[in-house]
Amino acid sequence: MDLRLSPRHERFRDDLRTWLATHLKRPWREELRDPKHTEDGLIELRRAWQRRLYEAGYLGMDWPAEWGGRGATEVEKAIFEEELARADAPPILNILGIGLLGPALIHHGTEEQRRRFIPPMLSGEEIWCQGFSEPGAGSDLASLRTSAVLDGDHFVLNGQKIWTTFGPWADWIFVLCRTDAQDRYGGISFLLVKLDTPGITVRRLRQITGESEFGEVFFEDARVPRSALVGKVGEGWRIAMTVLAYERGTMSLAYSVRYRRDLERLAAACREHGRTGAAVREKLARLLVDCEVLRANGIRTLANLADGKVPGPESSIEKIYWSEFDKRFRETALDVLGPGGQLVRTSPGARDDVDWTREFLWSRAGTIYSGSSEVQRNIIAKRVLNLPQEGR
Amino acid sequence: MRFDLSEDQALLRGSTRDFLAAEAPLEKTRRTIEHDPRGVDRETWGKLAEMGYLGLVAPAAAGGQGLGAVELAVVCEEVGRTCLPGPYLDVVLAASVLAAAGGQDALLADVVAGRRTAVLARADALYAGETKETTRFANGRVRGTKHFVPFGASADVLLVGTPEGVCLVERPFDTVPLETLDPAQRFVTVQLDHPAKLLGPATLLGAADRLAAVGAGAQLLGIMAKLLETTLEYVQTRRAFNRPIGAFQALQHRLADMLLRVESTRSAVYRAAWAVAAGDAEAALGCATAKAYAGESSRLVCGEAIQMHGGIGFTWELDVHLYFKRAKTLEQHYGGTEQQLERALEAAGL
C-alpha cells in the first residue's frame, strides 16, 4: 500500500496549482452570484474558461498526441478534477463532448470525423449535447424509438430526445437512433447531428431549480449525411456502452473537495448563528465522516488507476455513494440553517457563502441522471455480486 | 500509488486466514464462549504468541515484529472474519502503550510472548454521560473504579488511564464480572486502591486510540465482509415461490447497499491505517472516520444479514448472531461513535 502521489504526479499537480493561481481570476461561486451575469452570460464565461484550459494543454490530456494528448492517464485526469474543484473553477462547458463523444470518436470514429470534430470540441467552439434518453426510454435505454432511415446518402431522422443536458446551447448532438426495429440492441446506430439542421427543434425545459440546463430535441424528417454515422450501422449500442464507461469516471476525489469546502462554510454559519449545541454538532460530524469516506473511496480509485487497474462495474458504488450523500448533505444543510436556509440567492437575507437552495434542489438530480441509483444497484447485483436475473 | 497490499502484507493476510481457519473454527469458538470462564482458548492464545501475532506492532527488541498499522488492519480483518474470542486487539494495544512508554522491557517481552497478559483500563463510567469520580493517581497509588476492562479477570497487568498519566497496576485486583449482550466478552469492573507505577503522560493513549480505531474498524470490516458472503450464499440457495430468493430485486438492491458499505469501509479503514503508518497529516481524521463509519455500517450489514436469513437468522444455532453481537461490542468500545465524531470535528478544525 502506498497512497502518496508519485513524484511525477506531484509535479503535475504543483504545475497545475501554479497555473490555476495565475489564470483563475474569480472563483465560480462569485461568478454565480454576480447579478450582472445572465444564464447565457455564464455559458459564455464557461466557454472562455474552457478555451484557456485547452490552450494550456489541460483538455484531452489522455488522448493520442495528435488530438491534444500529452501521455497523461486517468490519474492526471482525476488530479485535474480535484484541483479544479479545490480552486473552485467554473465547470467545463463541453463536458459531454470531451467526456463522452471524444472517447467514442477516438475508439470508433473515422480519421475524418476526428479531424473535423475534436479540435472545436476541445476549444469550446462547438458544444455538444447527448441524445440518449427519450420520453419512453430512460433507464430502459434500449427501448429507444427515434428512427433513422437511410434514403440515398442521407439518414432521415424522426422522433424525440428528452432531458438533453446543454440542449438549449449546444451546436451539435450525438444521437442514439433506431436503424432496425426488430433488433433491440443491434438495431441501434450512433449519429452526429448539427442542431440547426432543418427539421430539428430544440425546446428548453424548466428544471425544478428554475434553470433550463436541459431541454428536448424533436426530429421531423431531419436529413443528415451518411458521413455522420460513427462506426457501422447497428454498432450504436456497443459504442454507447464504451462511452458510458467513461462517464462513470473518477469524480469522488473532486466532489469530496467541494463538500468539504461547503461543510466548512456550513460550520461557520452555525457558529455565527450560535448553533453550537450537541444536536447540530452531531449532524455536522456525520457529514464530515461521510465526506471523508467519499474521499477515501476517491483515493482508493486513484491509487488503483495509478497501479494500472481499470475501473469495472464496482464504480457503480462510487456513483451511488456520492449522489446519495449529496442528498443527505443538502438536506442537512437546510436542517441546521433553519428557515433562512430556504431563502433563494436573490432574496433579501440570503447568505452569500453557498447557494444552499440551488444545491438542495440540484441534489435531487444526481441519483437520476447517468444511470439512476436503481440501475446502479442492478449493475452491482448482476455484475459484481453475480445474483440471478431478476424474477428467475 | 497503490491501494492493494504489498506482497508481504498479502502473505500475512493469507497465512493469518489459514491459521485462524485451522485454529479457531466457529465450533471451537462456541465452546470457548459458552464454557470457558476466561473466554480464551489457552492453546490458541499460545499459538498467537508463538507466531508473533501478539507482538505484531511491538518493536523487534522486545521480541515483536515491529510492523505497522496496515499489518494490524490486515490481521484484525481476519480476526473479525473468524469472530476470534479473546483480547487480541486489547493486548496488542497494551503492548503498543508499553513500547511507547519505554522502560518496561521485561513486561513487554512477557506480553509479546504470551507469558503475561496486559490490557488497558479506560472507562470511568458504565453509562454514557454518567458523572462518576475519575480514577486518580497520587502518592504512588491509583484509586478509583474502572469499568468494562476487557478480559480483566485473567489479566496480569492493567494499564490504567488517569488524568495524571498511564499507570501500571499488577495483580491481584478484585474484579466484578459484567455480562453484556455479547457472550464472547469477559468485561469486568475493577476496584482499584493499589500501588501503581506511573508509566508516562496520558497523551501516550492518543497513539493507542488511533491504533484502536484502525484495529476495531478492521475487525468490523472483516465481520461485514464475512456476513455479506454468508448472506449471498444463503439467498442463492434458499428458495421461495419457485426461485432462489436472491432473484428478487427487493433483496438485490439491499445486497448492493451492503456491498457499498463493505467496500466503503474498506477504503476508509485502509486509508486510515496507511495514514497512521506513514505519519500522514490526515491520520487523526482518517482514524475517526474509519471507526465511526465502520460502526454505523455494521448496523446495516449485520442487521440485513439477520433479516435476509429470516427465522433461522434469529436463532442461537446460526452463527450470524455471534458476529452481530461482536459488532455491537466493537462499535461502542475502542472509541465509540460519539467520541469518534467529536475527534473528527476536532481534527478537521470544525
Q: Cell 432574496, residue? A: A347
The stretch A272-279 carries a mean pLDDT of 96
Instruction: Please state the rounded mean pLDDT for residues B222-239.
Output: 98
Q: What is the pLDDT of residue A74?
A: 85
Whether residues A147 and A84 fall in one domain:
no
A375 with A256, same domain? Answer: yes
**pLDDT at position A104, please?**
93
Question: Hunting for cell 481534527 — which residue is that?
Answer: B347
Q: Is residue A187 part of a domain?
A: yes
The residue assigned the cell 450504436 is: A236
Please report which helix (H) or strand (E) contains residue B121, including its range.
strand B118-121
| Domain end position, chosen among A221, A239, A257 | A239
ipTM field:
0.96
pLDDT, residue A249, reads: 56
The answer to whether residue A231 is domain-embedded is yes
Rounded to the nearest 5°, which phi and psi values hold at B241?
Answer: 55, 40
First to last CA, chain A: 41
Question: Which residues of B fall within a CB distance of 8 Å from A2?
Answer: 1-2, 274
Higher pLDDT, B328 or A390: B328
CB distance A376 to A319 below 8 Å: yes
Within 8 A by CB and 6+ apart from A111, the residues are none
Task: Specify whether A376 is located in the same domain as A273.
Answer: yes
Q: What is the β-pairing status of strands B118-121 and B157-162?
A: parallel
Verify that A52 and A154 share a domain, yes or no: no
B218 touching chain A per CB within 8 A: no
Do residues B289 and B270 lie in contact, with contact meaning Cβ atoms separated by under 8 Å? no
| Cα→Cα distances B18→A48, B12, B85, B135, Å | 60, 10, 17, 42
d(CA A380, CA B252): 9
Taking contacts as CB-CB distances below 8 angstroms, the residues of chain A near B274 are 1-3
Interface of B with A in 245-274 (CB under 8 A): 246-249, 252-253, 255-257, 259-260, 263-268, 270-274
Residue A24: is its pLDDT beyond 90? Answer: yes
CB B227 within 8 A of CB B301: yes
Give the Cα separation of A298 and B165 in Å (integer): 39
Residues of A in contact with B280 (CB under 8 A): 3
* pLDDT given for residue A242 in this prediction: 78
Tell me: pLDDT of A178 over 60: yes
pLDDT tens-digit profile of B162-201?
Answer: 999 999 999 999 999 999 999 999 999 999 999 999 999 9
Residue A288 belongs to some domain of the structure: yes
- Amino acid of residue B138: A
Question: Would you say residue A173 lies in a domain?
Answer: yes
Quick one: CA torsion of B179, B180, B186, B187, rounded to 10 degrees?
Answer: -90
Instruction: Identify the pLDDT of residue A248.
Output: 57
What per-residue confidence (pLDDT) applies to B32?
Answer: 97
| Interface check B337 vs A, CB under 8 A | no
- DSSP symbol at B268: H
Out of A183, A205, A239, a domain closes at A239
Mark yes or no for CB contact B3/A263 under 8 Å. Answer: no
The C-alpha atoms of residue B276 and residue B8 are separated, in whole angstroms, by 18
Do A270 and A197 belong together in one domain?
A: no
A176 in any annotated domain: yes
Q: How far is B283 from chain A (nearest CA, A)?
A: 12
Task: Output the domain CATH number for residue A319.
Answer: 1.20.140.10
| A391: pLDDT strictly greater than 70 | no
Position B276 scores a pLDDT of: 98
**A283/A331 Cα distance (integer angstroms):** 11
Rounded mean pLDDT of B238-267? 97
Do A168 and A268 lie in a common domain? no
Q: Which of A93, A120, A143 is the last residue of a domain?
A: A93
The answer to whether residues A235 and A261 belong to one domain is no
Give a yes or no: residue A144 inside a domain: yes
For each of the domains in chain B, give its residue range(s) and CATH number, in order of start.
7-113 (1.10.540.10), 121-199 (2.40.110.10), 204-348 (1.20.140.10)
**In-domain check, residue A119:** no
Q: Is A129 exposed, middle or buried (0-12, 13-18, 19+ CB in 10 A)?
A: buried
DSSP summary character for residue B326? H
- CA-based max dimension of chain A: 73
Helix (H/G/I), strand (E/B), else coil: A17: helix
Range of the domain at A154: 128-239
Question: CATH number of the domain that A153 lies in?
Answer: 2.40.110.10
pLDDT digits (tens, 9 = 90+) for A289-329: 999 999 999 999 999 989 988 878 888 999 999 999 999 99
Is A154 found in the same domain as A55?
no
Question: Cβ contact (<8 Å) for A314 and B9?
Answer: no
pLDDT at B206 over 60: yes
- Tell whether A187 and A292 lie within a shared domain: no
Q: What percent of chain B has pLDDT over 90?
A: 98
Question: pLDDT value at position A70?
Answer: 87
Tell me if A116 is assigned to some domain.
no
Specify whether A200 is located in the same domain as A310: no
The answer to whether residues A253 and A380 belong to one domain is yes
For cell 439467498, name the residue.
B235
Neighbours of A113 (CB within 10 A): 18
Terminal Cα distance for chain B, rounded: 30
Query: CA-to-CA distance for A199 and A314, rounded, in angstroms?
Result: 41
Task: Quote the pLDDT of residue A247.
Answer: 60
Q: How many residues belong to chain A? A: 392
Burial per residue of B131-141, b for 16 or more beta-carbon CB atoms within 10 angstroms, e otherwise:
eeeebebeeee
User: Do residues A204 and A301 both lie within one domain?
Assistant: no
- Total tally of structural domains belonging to chain A: 3
SS3 A128: strand
List, for residues A43-80, the tens digit of each pLDDT value. 999 999 999 999 999 999 989 888 878 888 888 999 99
Whole-structure pTM value: 0.96
Cα separation of A207 and A331, whole Å?
19
Residues of A known to be catalytic: 247
Query: What is the Cβ-side half-sphere exposure of residue B42, based on CA atoms within 13 angstroms?
Result: 6
